[in-house]
Every structure is written in structure tokens, then in C-alpha cells.
Structure 1
Amino acid sequence: MQVKNLTVNRLCQIQVIMAVNGNLPGPTLRVKEGDTIVVHVFNKSPYNLTIHWHGIFQRLTQWADGLQFVTQCPIRPRGNYTYTFNLTGQVGTFWWHAHSQWLRATVHGALIIRPRESQKYPFVKPYREDTIMLGEWWNAGPNDVESVALAT
């Protein structure tokens, strides 16, 4: 994953945001239960950041949870970090996002964990899958919105 500036035109305004691999939302990660995830994050943004794997049980891999200054130091600008963790006992749709400042507004994506080949879905097997990511958009940058909110 490369986190860096991306110039976008939304709501008739041009804005520079942080994005992953030049996309908003970032990539959807599709894996199977029991897989080991290895994600290399290269921070080409001007901000410190971490990536949090929302809802994922970090059994024996708490350092991969992505909580800045709690489970890991931030990935500094021009720095990198490799997240490695096992997906055990979880199936479903989750999401990953930046866990620094308000960067999660644009640095995020889906994480889809399917059952192993030998297992059945814990729910009716989907006939079709479409991933829908919901988010918000402001005409101000996400960090500016956060600064105004914290000042009030």
C-alpha cells in the first residue's frame, strides 16, 4: 500500500487528499479464514499514520492493530511498516482505515474474509457480491474539519 497525495475533483472543487495506491476508496483485500496477511505500507504522505484493521481479532499480534502510540509508533513520512497477522476464527466483511488524525476519511478500504475451502459460510452463501463503502465528503480537507471540530 502506498499512501500519498491524490488530487481529486469532487463537488466542483479540486482538493488534495491522502489515498492508497491512487484510489478512493483504497484496495479491497480478499482473503480466506486462516490466511496470514502481510501488508507493506509505504507512507509517502506528509503525515504520521497507522493502519487499523477494524474488527479483526489480533490474537498474539496486538502490535499489528494499528493504534498510533498504543500498539505501535506511527509510520513517519517517507517511512514504511509491514503488518503481519493471522486471520483465525473470523469470516465476513470488515474494513481497514488510517488511525491517525482524520485520515480515515480518505485512507480506507474493505477487507473480505471468506471461509476456508473445507468450511461453509456461517450464513447463506451469497449468490452475488458487491462491496459498498460508505463515507463522507467535505469541501474542506479532513484534517481541517477535525481541527475545527476540536476547536469548538
Structure 2
Amino acid sequence: MWLIMKVREASYTRLCSAKNILTVNGKFPGPTIYATKGETIIVDVYNKGNENVTIHWHGVTMPRYPWTDGPEYITQCPIQPGSKFTQKIILSTEEGTLWWHAHREWWKNDVNAVRDEGLATGGDPDPSDALLINGQPGDLYPCSKSDTFKLTVDHGKTYLLRIINTALQEALFFSIAKHKMTVVGTDGSYTKPLTRDFITIFPGQTYDVLLEANQHPDHYYMAAITYSVAPKYQDFYDNTTTTAIVQYSGYYTPSSPPSFPLLPAYNDTNASVQVMAGLRSLADALHPCNVPLSTSTNLIYTVSVNSYPCVNNSCAGANGTRFSSSINNISLIPLQLTYYKLTIITSAVFMEINFLAIHH
């Protein structure tokens, strides 16, 4: 398969104001690609915008060919304005739903300015002004109701929903009023069916979900909110609610407003892990689960967000510190160290802390 992606700016209006955003082939969200297991996709990416860009192919294993996977300055150089880059995407064992991206929420301000302010101040970037479902904020935001995304269904039919969390950093609770969802796949792999009233989907994660249209013909909200243990008043995250509508076909007078789904409390940690803890692999002849029964080496990786000292406690993080992420207390190891055969001294000393354990 050979595809062309043209990345350029276009003006879009959300939340009562217009701004320029990057689009692919004139679309926001971008075009859907349908492919088969084992297929190779060649993509010519033309950067017609004003900033460096890359296209990341999330969840694709890219066996022996990571050079066009997308992370700039990690596996490839960015695509400069006015340039073209050809990416080779090798689909091997993947099934179900994957995604290519940048991330999608909605800031009224310029996203580059939001990023730069966060880096300059050492604090969290400002939270987005709206969450989106298929590019639309939904009924609960200003100037948005007329464009709310609507999914039309026929009573008695079953639909496959490909649900992707494209948000930058928010985990989301998602539910559909008066309807159960059956998860049959996640992150490019099929799973044993798991039926739930809601799902928790983390940034970058995908779910393949079966929706049975078995309710009385009407309009029903689907909705998503952010899961976070941080109190709402601290304004660390987008605490708004995005909605879309499942509307049954036929002639009837819909309820106004539509039925709203029951969602967990925004800080319900036990609810946040229910789906992932309940998923099981197919473990059949076509999907073997050949995990080792014994190990020779144990490796521990601790991924964290840390507070680092800041001159005169002048940064915007907690107690005047600056935020920085790390793996095993290491925030960055430049690739040049390996090239020049250099080493750095690191420390893996951690505070004692209680973690939520999930057993699979």
C-alpha cells in the first residue's frame, strides 16, 4: 500500500474561536487507514507547515526496521518545513486497532506556546480547554452543541467501536448511557471478551469494543472524563466532560437531554484498573501465549515524575521546584554517549512508597 500524507495548517473553530492547527490531507482528525495483517505500508509525508513534524505509528512493532517509527531525535530526524520523508511501516503480528498520531485535545492558545511556557517555568503545561470525541467537544461546551458527533445505530445490530485515547496525558473514563461494552481487543491484539459498563483508557491506548444496540430507540450520551488522583482545585488536568450521542435510527421523539452514563468518581483508582486487570489473552493456536515459566534475571524499571531543585525556588512546580520525568532516576542519556563510548554516574535510590499492585 502506498499513501500520501500532506501536513499543513488550517483554520478550525472550537469553543467560540478560530485558530490554526495542523491537519493531514485537510482532515482533523486525520484519515483512517485500513490495512491487513502482514502488509507493508509506504507513506510519503509532505510537511507543508511551519514547524518540524514527525508521524508516529503507535503500537506497530516495526521488526528490524525502527528507523521511520516517528519519535524525532530518537529513531529519526524530524521532517523539516517544505520537506518530504518516506516512511516504511511494517505490519507483522498486529491485529485490531492501532493509530498514527499526534495527540488531540483542544487548547484555545497556541500549543507550541503552551509547551514552551511549561518548559520555561518548570511546571505542568496548562491543561487543555476541552476534551474531544472525533474532533468535537460535545454538548456541554460553549458554541459546540450543533457539531456534537453523532453515531447512528439500528436497533438489534452490533457495532465495533475502535476507541483510542489520543489525549496528551489524561487517562479517561468512558461510558455509554444504558449500554454495556464488550472489550475484544486492545493495543493491536485480540483478547477474550470482557463486558463492562465503562472502560478506563490511558494515553496512547486503543480498545476494540462491541456495542449492542439493544435499548429502546432514543438518543444516549457517550461521555468521557479525566481520571486523576490530584484534587480538582489544583487545576493540574482538564476536568471537563466531553460527550457524543448514540442515536437510534427511525421515527420517534428523542429525550431531551439524552440519558447520561454513570461514570466513576474522577479519582476512583480501583475503578481505573478494573478493565486492564480483567483482560486475558486468547491463548489459542493462532494466538499462543508462550511466556517463560522461570526467569534468570529480574529487571526493575521505575518510571516517575520528579521534583528537581530550582534556583531560589523560583520555578512553577511544587514548592518552587521544576518537574522532570525519569526512568530509574535518570532523566536523559544522550545517544552520543554510546557513540563516544562515554559513561555517566547514576543513582537508583528511591523513597519508600506504596504502589498499587495489579496481578495478571
- TM interval, short-chain normalised: 0.7 to 0.9
Distance 2:98 2:80 in 1: 26
Shift of 1:60: 1.2
Which residue is 1:17 aligned to? 21
Which residue is 1:100 aligned to? none
TM-score (norm 2): 0.32
Shift of 1:85: 2.6
Distance 2:6 2:90 in 1: 22
Shift of 1:136: 1.4
Which residue is 1:96 aligned to? 100
Q: Deviations over 1:88-111 (max 9, x none)?
A: 1110211111xxxxxx24xxxxxx
Q: 37, 48, 53: which is aligned to 1:44? A: 48
Shift of 1:151: 2.2
Amino acid at match of 1:73: C
Which residue is 1:4 aligned to? 8
TM-score (norm 1): 0.73
Which residue is 1:143 aligned to? 112
* 2:90 equivalent to 1:86: yes
Q: Secondary structure at the match of 2:28?
A: coil
Q: Which runs of 4+ in 1 moved over 3 A?
A: none
Contact 2:60/2:90 (<8 A) preserved: no
Unpaired segments ≥5 residues, structure 2: 122-360
Contact 2:57/2:69 (<8 A) preserved: yes
Shift of 1:86: 1.7
Shift of 1:72: 1.0
Which residue is 1:69 aligned to? 73
Distance 2:22 2:67 in 1: 24
Q: Whose relative contact order is higher, 1 or 2, with alpha carbons under 8 Å and at least 6 apart?
A: 1
Q: Deviations over 1:126-152 (max 9, x none)?
A: xxxxxxxxx411111221221122222
Q: Deviations over 1:33-54 (max 9, x none)?
A: 0111111100001111111101
Contact 2:47/2:79 (<8 A) preserved: yes
Distance 1:23 1:143 in 2: 20
Amino acid at match of 1:146: R
Distance 2:45 2:54 in 1: 9
Contact 2:62/2:92 (<8 A) preserved: no
* 2:11 equivalent to 1:27: no
Distance 1:92 1:32 in 2: 9
Amino acid at match of 2:68: A
Distance 1:65 1:29 in 2: 16
Distance 2:116 2:90 in 1: 36
Unpaired segments ≥5 residues, structure 1: 98-103, 106-134
More strand by share: 1
Q: Secondary structure at the match of 1:31?
A: coil
Larger Rg: 2
Amino acid at match of 1:139: K
Shift of 1:9: 1.1
Distance 2:60 2:29 in 1: 19
Shift of 1:22: 1.1
The percent of aligned pairs where both chains have the same amino acid is 44
Q: Deviations over 1:56-99 (max 9, x none)?
A: 101011102111112111111000111113201110211111xx
Q: Secondary structure at the match of 1:93?
A: coil
Shift of 1:13: 0.5
Distance 1:51 1:96 in 2: 7
Distance 1:83 1:31 in 2: 15
